[in-house]
Chains A and B, each alone.
Chain A
């Protein structure tokens, strides 16, 4: 354990405070509840704890052993060694929020560089220092849109192809407010233009996903334009890795870009911690929640960085703040910053392109199997696509698992109309042999189907 006091220190310190025993500090605690006996396991040495944790971890089967084709919002990507090497620096991970800029320039400049690269990637003008994850970034976009119209527009139109967790999180966040969430969650087959029927003069925000939950990539410029004609804000939730290849939302009229930063070098880690990307146009910067770093100079004339526009935040505005956020995903933000700088202009395009080609190879081979077909074969996709299967996804996945393959996501869990639809993700991690193995095992179902 981590208490440095010697018995001698402790005695001297007690004497200095004028009490006889440590228990005397706690007489203010109601006596009946004071010093409970906690029923916890016996304390372990570091060696024993390390072994216990290793034992627990070994009960998991990992994407390192499986061939992983599971995505649906979290992706199995390669993280270059340099990323964790930097994250392991105690000067970064044991630092607090950079409230004292004179001794926090490392964190502050890293945030400034993160903001710069997120803007470059999304085509937006300003980015905050991050939210918790993609889902909460969507919820914050809703709060921002509500604040932008000062409560006069309360309708939020969410695409049914927005990640189901993001939509349910938005519902949770808004349950105490007058905001309404609109859109037909049961009709994800329609393209983005179907959202227009929900847009009217009360609409504050139209939010789509790009690529969407099913992997589809649409040209969203017409929807953006129509949204603006209705006077509403246009929000896009992105997979940032896809933007290594695809047109950035800033070029087709997005007012808010949010997204899950996990694909940019953050380990799967059973769902977190990840990173919520949030970027917007400069005119909305004062309505954007979250930490923000700006460039300035110090008393010696040197360039330096500080937290800025802090008057927007909860510690100043309290109940009048538009968001309660008090942290950012500091270390995950750093991971993404190191990842983007290590890959750079060419590396990110290279890995995005690899994802694209491998996914398209897998899709074309699966689509050729009797009984299997792509759900919407004419719609472009990035590294994820939806397949209509001859039998239930659960049955297929159980069989794939026996062959060491982590199959795709069962879309029917969230969209009951799409029984037997599997969402498959293919990344740079999937070697061609893995894809071929997947196709071979899937082919067993195709054959069974054709014999019947």
Chain B
């Protein structure tokens, strides 16, 4: 492969895009405040197009292949979403325009808020957070503010299961909370005895991913909620795995007080090579006054002839802004398009098919790779990346060998509580034929592990680059082309 860097393509005097000459008189440039050199590349437009097109071809993507990456919900990103998000009426609107001129954007945000409330069983929602982790920070700040408003500033302890994503403890620490990790029991549930021992009057709440990162719905959910609420704590729901619950259960009905949603997982908006995501936070009625400002509401009700007037409102005890402007509006359009196309029945089918696909894969693979928690999973499951008769082969080798089969590997070495974890989430948009092909690939890899483990240790072989020297990268720290 080796696509040159832009600075290597650069030729002195070349320019891609040109702008018109000034149509106004020229002003004096500010004395002593202008730069002498601007060391950017000099390339033509065709250089740019070929360079980035060739780069794109070095990527694996949903559009080019299967992506069973646990906890990431790499479902198909419908093309219509990209069209609606680019409608001129949405794209060319300034966030600070008078509300009378942005009634379309506000109506869309209002209806997306209403949809999320209905799907999740919550009373109010903010669309402002930019990503899941950002939603977590927002959520724990809301919990903190709620307790403080009730005079309970001593409540600083937040309980987080050992299977949780790393963002949960990191978000809590940012909010100044004291993190206590809860162990899991032998069936992959939260250890109830450990939970009970921590339920005292310093408890702020518990952050629960349910189904958890093992893909398991906690069998004691009602007990967990009761213990936390009886101790005066709040239940935070990490919505990373909401794809399993659409139309199956509403987290608000199950006792969750505050929860973030990942529009880029559950509601099909693209991951974009690492973002932008969107992490709306929904809350119960008791917490509604603490949401970040502003949120969209109806300012003047409509009638038969006129639509309502939408505008921004500030919740009474708002924790404040968590970012500039109103959130990732372009992502809202995509998610709302997706919700409109599914309706209640379709969303339930999303979860059902996601769970069917995961259970099918688990059934097919458990003879080849150990599955530590053997009960029906939700939308994902965790296997151990170990092959009987091939003691030197690790999850990493299996993951890298899958790349040679044109398949993106599962999440590996997470959750931390499973040895050599391979976390597999097929999503509902993959066909039986694709899943069967994945099973065949993993079976062949298991056979290779026994007969020719070296081919795994040195994998991948068919990718644009081989295994990369990460130690060298960290040691030499070449972070720019100069």
Contact = CB atoms under 8 A, between A and B. Distances in A.
Contacts of B82: 88, 93
B193 interface: no
Given A10-B356, A328-B274, A173 B174 contact: yes
Interface stretch (B227-235, B321-329, B382-390, B447-455): B321-329
Interface string B37-58: 0111111010011011101111
Contacts of B72: 96
Given A40-B118, A302-B1, A428-B19, A93 B272 contact: yes
B174 A271 contact: no
Contacts of B222: 30
Chain A CB within 10 Å, residue with most, of B3, B58, B171, B172: B58
Given A103-B463, A314-B133, A332-B276, A1 B342 contact: yes
Chain B CB within 10 Å, residue with most, of A63, A308, A356: A308
Contact of A29 (B51, B217, B307, B362): B217
A327 B356 contact: no
A126 B376 contact: no
A132 B80 CA distance: 25
A60 B364 CA distance: 51
Interface in A3-26: 3-5, 9-10, 12-14, 16-19, 22, 24-26
B186 interface: no
A3 B427 CA distance: 10
B431 interface: yes
A2 B273 contact: no
Contacts of A63: 92-94
Contact of A319 (B165, B173, B254, B275): B173
A123 B341 CA distance: 47
Given A3-B353, A95-B271, A116-B480, A341 B25 contact: no
A74 B172 CA distance: 31
A197 interface: no
Nearest to A22: B352
Given A25-B359, A107-B273, A30 B466 contact: no
A113 interface: yes
Nearest to B349: A3
A270 B470 CA distance: 40
B467 A94 contact: no
B63 to A, nearest CB: 3
A82 interface: yes
A16 B362 CA distance: 10
B468 A304 contact: yes
A112 B25 CA distance: 39
A74 B56 contact: no
A172 interface: yes
Contacts of B190: none
B170 A431 contact: no
Contacts of B467: 102, 298-299
Given A329-B276, A341-B43, A38 B347 contact: yes
Interface string B218-260: 0101100000000000000000000000011110011000000
Nearest to B103: A59
Contacts of A282: 477
B56 A165 contact: no
A397 B96 CA distance: 12
A274 to B, nearest CB: 8
Interface string B89-116: 1111111111001111101100000010
A2 B131 contact: no
B33 A5 contact: no
Interface residues of B, number: 201
Contact of B42 (A92, A102, A344): A344
Contacts of A106: 55-59, 273
Nearest to B39: A120
Contacts of B352: 22, 25
B437 interface: no
Contacts of A13: 356-357, 360, 432
A59 B90 CA distance: 10
Contacts of B348: 35, 38
Contacts of B108: 56
A10 B435 CA distance: 12
Contacts of A390: none
A304 B465 contact: yes
Nearest to A332: B276
B24 interface: yes
Contacts of A117: 6, 40-41
B157 interface: no
A395 interface: no
Contacts of B329: 269-273
Given A36-B253, A59-B103, A318-B169, A344 B465 contact: no
A450 interface: no
Chain A CB within 10 Å, residue with most, of B7, B254, B319, B325: B325
Interface stretch (A188-196, A227-235, A289-297, A369-377): A289-297
B272 A38 contact: no
B88 A91 contact: no
Given A90-B62, A105-B1, A321-B166, A74 B95 contact: yes
B38 A348 contact: yes
Contacts of A349: 38
Interface stretch (B194-202, B280-288, B297-305, B331-339): B331-339
B363 A172 contact: no
A30 to B, nearest CB: 6
A417 interface: no
A401 B399 CA distance: 58
B480 A115 contact: yes
Contact of A330 (B56, B271, B481): B271
B401 to A, nearest CB: 11
Given A17-B359, A97-B271, A361-B25, A60 B89 contact: yes
B121 interface: yes
Contacts of A76: 92, 94
A116 B7 contact: yes
B166 A40 contact: no
Contacts of B83: 50
B368 interface: no
A41 interface: yes
Interface in B333-382: 333, 336-337, 339-350, 352-353, 355-357, 359-360, 362-364, 376, 378
Given A70-B97, A92-B56, A103-B59, 19 more contacts: A28-B376, A36-B247, A39-B344, A49-B337, A96-B72, A101-B465, A120-B39, A134-B324, A245-B35, A268-B95, A272-B331, A293-B479, A294-B476, A314-B167, A324-B174, A325-B131, A342-B16, A344-B15, A344-B41
25 contacts: A1-B346, A4-B429, A9-B431, A17-B360, A25-B378, A57-B88, A74-B94, A89-B52, A90-B61, A90-B62, A93-B61, A93-B270, A94-B271, A102-B463, A102-B464, A110-B52, A115-B479, A267-B92, A295-B478, A318-B166, A331-B276, A332-B276, A344-B14, A345-B40, A409-B96
